[in-house]
Structure 1
């Protein structure tokens, strides 16, 4: 029997503040009718505070569809990322950090990602220890993604694979940002993992001034769903919906 395509609503960089109580309820209630699954690709909170996570958690109670996501750099700001994850998990959000989850006959693998640059301009493991640590972080995040996708493929070989990231896996979806910022917006190491594992589609955020759509070198579609970018593109909503 041919599988029925599912509607994935995707957003990122929602930066929920402690004063945002009630603001997201209408959007999430609308998503119950417009999507089968919601993914949120990082920067769930504005300053990495647990009160902000609680506000988001209350809003998530309006949803009757699965919610899957990853943390972003803002969620690490105060070192309370574990508390944020716990709060949102209690509100039935699945947060991935080198793991995978299955919802609606689709496999989702995710990790935050990291910087490092793109293509021939990727930073290399050379020089001072601090620079090497920066590059190692980028490589480790890509390995986490690759391992999660591998496990997903081995355990659910027939399911389409969707990758969730905060940092960008390709250069094309950060175009529009100052080029000086590219090394801090994503890494081609992440894109290599997408290509190796033949992902159906990938979503990320972080690059507020970037470009909505791009493709990896293997033509895997990649969407930058950062909320400020979607607003600037006048898409009319806080999210986009893609069928998989």
Structure 2
């Protein structure tokens, strides 16, 4: 059994110093790893990343993150990731991280993800170059997630994204903006890659719980959704690949 603390959309700015670190006090008694589902900053500035890094560096357990759209806003995503990395936060983009705890090995595969929509209401890579580029980017990052998941050698696989893989966890948001909040290509990657849990953020007005077509639990851990510093989930090693994930997720 491995214990996961997860949150997204903490949106720390230069005026947020000292606001999140206190929330992490004692987290080691509750969880084995902290996963952050993007939007660590307000506008993706290095100065904001320095604040986020300082807050997360106080964590007693490993911190693994993906960036979100806010973290890309100032075109300094690489610099933001580097600042976080220097503080010990492992930032994933088409890559993986391993954590050993609770007698098992957790593998986390992460990408930011992108929009595109869901079955019956999605974009396609046809027509104008801009539209083709939009959808192809979604397909590319989703393929990266699948490859990362499939390459993991571990007991438990978790997919970490910023954008949503299913529409279930968007319930509460305006349906018109669903195509900008996530994509079914991410869900296909989650299922094909054998994940046991998918975590995302981005949809502040959404719903916590959902599920992929393949039965993988999906959790929207955007801070406005969970209403606390982080949500807690427990996942057991799965001996039978077809078995369901424990209800504690």
Q: Give the TM-score range, shorter chain.
A: over 0.9
Q: Which residue number corresponds to residue 111 of structure 1?
A: 111
Q: Which residue number corresponds to residue 90 of structure 2?
A: 94
Structural mapping, 1:32-181, within 5 Å: 32-104=28-100, 105-152=105-152, 156=153, 158-181=154-177
Give distance in 2, aligned partners of 1:61 and 1:82.
19
Q: Which residue number corresponds to residue 201 of structure 2?
A: 205
- DSSP 3-state at the match of 2:117: coil
TM-score by length of 1: 0.93
More helix by share: 1
Give distance in 2, aligned partners of 1:21 and 1:32.
21
Q: How many residues align?
A: 231
- DSSP 3-state at the match of 2:207: coil
C-alpha displacement at 1:125, in angstroms? 1.2
Question: Which is further off, 23-32 or 116-125?
Answer: 23-32
Give distance in 2, aligned partners of 1:126 and 1:175.
28
C-alpha displacement at 1:241, in angstroms? 0.3
| Alignment partner of 1:240 is 2:236 | no
Give distance in 2, aligned partners of 1:138 and 1:102.
25
TM-score by length of 2: 0.91
Deviations 1:154-199 (A, max 9, x none): xx1x421000000000010111100110110000000001111221
Give distance in 1, aligned partners of 2:39 and 2:163.
10
Native 8 Å contact 2:28 2:60 kept in 1: yes
Give distance in 2, aligned partners of 1:8 and 1:150.
21
Q: Which residue number corresponds to residue 244 of structure 2?
A: none
C-alpha displacement at 1:32, in angstroms? 2.3
Native 8 Å contact 2:26 2:60 kept in 1: no
Give distance in 1, aligned partners of 2:69 and 2:33.
23
Q: Which residue number corresponds to residue 234 of structure 1?
A: none
Native 8 Å contact 2:34 2:61 kept in 1: yes
Give distance in 2, aligned partners of 1:61 and 1:168.
27
C-alpha displacement at 1:238, in angstroms? 1.7
C-alpha displacement at 1:89, in angstroms? 0.2
Give distance in 2, aligned partners of 1:197 and 1:68.
19
C-alpha displacement at 1:61, in angstroms? 2.3
More strand by share: 2
C-alpha displacement at 1:30, in angstroms? 3.0
Moved over 2 A (4+): none
Give distance in 2, aligned partners of 1:181 and 1:187.
12
